[in-house]
Amino acid sequence: MTIQRCSWCSDEQIYIDYHDQEWGVPVYDEHTLFEMLCLEGQQAGLAWIIVLKKRERYQHHFFQYTIEEIATFTDEHLIEIAQDPGIIRHLGKLKAIRDNARAWLNMRQIMPDMVKWLWSFVGHQPKVHSVPDYRLAPTQSELSLQLSKTLKKNGFKFVGPTIIYSYLQAVGMIDDHENHCFKKLSLAP
């Protein structure tokens, strides 16, 4: 019997693994929520598969460190990181990771539990949508517009409503697996 996946999932193993093990699975770990927010921003203007293939280098340069440590990165350090062809060498996007770490820490002063705060946007449980075909799923919503606006107001970069919608899908706050997908069936309450 063939496993039914979302139609957007190519036959590349890295994409299959991401779809099967991560995409749409609820994330409650602060560091992972931060990492995914930053990685979604790296995708801006590109295909997600590019970010996936470079993710290991991002983890090496950024996400093996705490949010507090990332916030201390200097421009000079980021320029050095930008020399690595294993990442997307867009200095503005790399600075956004550092700036987002700073914004995250500032937000933590107001909302000490960032995980709980982020999940409050979906009422603390995943929003499950009926998606007969991924091309019919929205690319943004009132929810992503609201969260995007709040994040931008608090100094986050590369957090437009489309990026945020993709983020909400990735971290399982929104379940947009296609209706025929085995993950939709396995994640259902």
- CATH number of 50's domain: 1.10.340.30
Whether residue 38 lies inside any domain: the answer is: yes
Could you give the 3-state DSSP secondary structure of residue 24? coil
Residues 55, 35 contacting (CB under 8 angstroms)? no
Q: Identify the pLDDT of residue 180.
A: 93
Within 24-90, residue ranges assigned H as helices are 30-42, 48-58, 67-70, 75-81
Q: In this structure, is residue 82 part of a structural domain?
A: yes
- Catalytic residue IDs: 18, 40, 48
In this prediction, residue 184 carries a pLDDT of: 86
pLDDT at 84 over 60: yes
Strand partners, 98: none
pLDDT per residue as tens digits for the range 126-153: 999 999 999 999 999 999 999 999 999 9
Provide the pLDDT for residue 176: 96
77 band by pLDDT with thresholds 50, 70 and 90: very high
Residue 3 lies in a domain: no
* Percent of the chain whose pLDDT exceeds 70: 97
Cα angle 115-24-108, degrees, rounded to a multiple of 5: 15
Task: Report phi then psi at 155, rounded to 5.
Answer: 95, 5
4 falls within a domain: no
pLDDT tens column, 3-20? 999 999 999 999 999 999
How many domains does one find in the chain? Answer: 1
Q: Are the beta carbons of 56 and 86 closer than 8 angstroms?
A: yes
Residue 188 clears pLDDT 60, i.e. is over it: no
Average predicted confidence (pLDDT) for the chain: 95
Q: Which tens digits make up the pLDDT trace of 88-109? A: 999 999 999 999 999 999 999 9
Within a domain: 5: no
Give the pLDDT score at 111: 92
Kindly tell me if the per-residue pLDDT of 187 is higher than 70. Answer: no
Instruction: Identify the band that residue 110 occupies on the pLDDT scale cut at 50, 70 and 90.
Output: very high
The boundaries of the domain holding residue 18 are: 13-187
- Residue 108 domain flag: yes
CA 100 vs. chain centroid, Å, equals: 13
